[in-house]
Amino acid sequence: MMVLILVIVVCCLAVYVYTSQKEKQKLNEKIEFQHSLIQDLTEGLEYLDEKQRGGFHHVS
């Protein structure tokens, strides 16, 4: 009986770890997408100090 309870607990923990890893992966993908979107939007913007920030830095 104790072995059955132990197996159930281990299975529940394995499912929890698996789903939390999947959620973490989805969150990281979303963050990477938003970061690249922000870089694309700010590429070529000039600020008040006239220095270019973000996007790809072009060698001049």
pLDDT 10s digits, 33-59? 999 988 888 776 766 666 655 555 555
The predicted pLDDT at position 38 comes to 86
Give the global pTM.
Answer: 0.54
| Section 12-41 average pLDDT | 93
* Residue 42 and residue 53 in contact, taking contact as beta carbons nearer than 8 Å: yes
Distance (Å, whole) CA 10 – CA 47: 55
Single out the residue of 47, 37, 43 nearest to residue 56, CA to CA.
Answer: 43
Residue 60 in tokens:
């001049």
Rounded-to-integer distance, Cα 6 and Cα 26, Å: 30
CA torsion sign, 31 to 32 to 33 to 39? Answer: positive
- Label residue 25 by pLDDT band (50, 70, 90): very high
